[in-house]
Chains A and B, each alone.
Chain A
Amino acid sequence: MADILAVRDVRKTFGDVRAVDGVSFTVRRGTITGLLGRNGAGKTTTIRMITGIFMPDSGDIQWLGEAASGGAYRDRIGYLPEERGLYKQMKLVELLLFLAEIKGIRATPAVRKKIDYWLERFELTEKRDAKVEELSKGNQQKIQLIGTLLHDPELIILDEQQSGLDPVNMVLVRNLLRDLRNEGKTILLSTHMMGEAERMADEIILIHRGQVVLEGTLDEVRAGFGKNTLHIDFDGDGTFLSTLPQVKHASIVNNAAELSLVEGADPQEILQAAIGTLRIRRFELAAPSLEEIFIDKVGTETLTSTETVPSGVVR
Chain B
Amino acid sequence: MNKMFAVFKREYIQAVRKKMFIIMTFLMPFLMVLLFMLPSVMMSRGMGTKKVAVLDGTGQLREPFTTAPQKKDADDSEVGGRGNDLTAKMDVEYVDARDQKLDQAEKPYLDRLRQEKGATKLDGVFLVPPDAMTATDAKFRYYSRSATDFITQERLASRANHAVEQNRLVKHGINPADVEQLTTDLKVDSVQLSKSGEQKKGGAANFIIGFMLTGLLIIPSFVYGLEIMRGIVQEKTDRVVEVLVSSMSASELLIGKILGVAAVGLTQISVWFIMAALLGTFGATTAALAGENVMQLIRPMTFVYFAVFFLLAYLTYVCIYAIGGAICNTEKEAQQLIGPFSIIMMLPWFLMVAIITNPDSNLSVAFSLAPVWGPLTMYVRTLVAEPPLWHVALSILISIATISFFFWITAKIFRVGILSYGKRPTVPELWRWLKVA
Contact = CB atoms under 8 A, between A and B. Distances in A.
Interface of A: 48, 51-53, 74-75, 77, 79, 81, 83-90, 98-99, 101-104, 106, 144, 147, 308-315
Contacts of B9: 101
Contacts of B6: 98, 101-102
6 contacts: A79-B242, A85-B238, A102-B7, A310-B420, A313-B416, A314-B429
A308 B422 contact: yes
Contacts of A99: 243
Given A86-B238, A102-B247, A314 B3 contact: no
Nearest to B429: A312
B436 interface: yes
A81 B243 contact: yes
A315 B238 contact: no
A312 B425 contact: yes
Interface string B406-437: 00000000001001111111100100110011
B50 interface: no
Given A81-B246, A87-B240, A88-B238, A311 B423 contact: yes
B437 to A, nearest CB: 6
A312 B426 contact: yes
A52 B423 CA distance: 24
Given A53-B419, A101-B6, A311-B420, A147 B243 contact: yes
B357 interface: no
Nearest to B422: A311
B14 to A, nearest CB: 7
B2 interface: yes
Interface string B384-404: 000000000000000000000
Contacts of B420: 309-313
A314 B238 contact: no
Given A102-B3, A102-B248, A309 B422 contact: yes
Nearest to A132: B238
A274 B225 CA distance: 72
Interface in B200-254: 237-240, 242-248
**Size class of the contact patch on chain B:** 20 to 34
Contacts of B45: none
Main SS of the interface on chain A? loop
Given A87-B238, A90-B10, A102-B244, 7 more contacts: A75-B247, A87-B10, A87-B14, A101-B6, A308-B421, A312-B422, A312-B433
A102 B244 CA distance: 7
B10 A98 contact: yes
Contact of A101 (B3, B243, B245): B3
A99 B247 CA distance: 9
Interface in B229-286: 237-240, 242-248
A83 to B, nearest CB: 4
Contacts of A310: 420, 422
A20 to B, nearest CB: 15
Contacts of A102: 3, 6-7, 243-244, 247-248
Nearest to B13: A94
Contacts of A315: 416, 436-437
Nearest to B245: A53
Nearest to B5: A101
- Interface centre among B2, B9, B238, B247, by most A CB within 10 Å? B247
Contacts of B248: 102
A106 B421 CA distance: 32
Nearest to A14: B420
A83 B246 CA distance: 13
Contacts of B432: 312, 314
A83 B239 contact: yes
Contacts of B421: 83, 308-309, 311
A104 B240 contact: no
A51 to B, nearest CB: 4
Contacts of B242: 48, 53, 79, 81, 83-84
B323 to A, nearest CB: 15
A52 B419 contact: no
Contacts of A90: 10, 14
Given A87-B238, A98-B6, A314-B432, A79 B422 contact: no
A314 B422 contact: no
A81 B419 CA distance: 12
A78 to B, nearest CB: 10
A47 B400 CA distance: 38
Given A53-B419, A315-B436, A79 B2 contact: no
10 closest Cβ pairs, A-B complex: A311-B422, A85-B239, A101-B6, A312-B429, A85-B238, A51-B246, A83-B239, A81-B242, A102-B247, A79-B246
Contacts of A87: 10, 14, 238, 240
Contacts of A85: 237-240
Interface string B1-34: 0110011011000100000000000000000000
A145 to B, nearest CB: 12
Contacts of B14: 87, 89-90
B419 A311 contact: no
A53 B432 CA distance: 18
B429 A103 contact: no
B10 to A, nearest CB: 5
B321 to A, nearest CB: 19
Nearest to B250: A53
Nearest to B2: A104
Contacts of A101: 2-3, 6, 9
Nearest to B432: A314
Contacts of B433: 312-314
A40 B3 CA distance: 32
A77 B243 CA distance: 11
A308 B14 CA distance: 31
Contacts of B416: 313-315
A74 B246 contact: yes
B244 to A, nearest CB: 7
A108 to B, nearest CB: 13
A88 B424 CA distance: 25
Contacts of A88: 238
- Interface centre among A84, A309, A312, by most B CB within 10 Å? A312
A77 B246 CA distance: 9
A7 to B, nearest CB: 16
Nearest to A83: B239
A85 B239 CA distance: 5
A84 B239 contact: yes
A99 B425 CA distance: 30
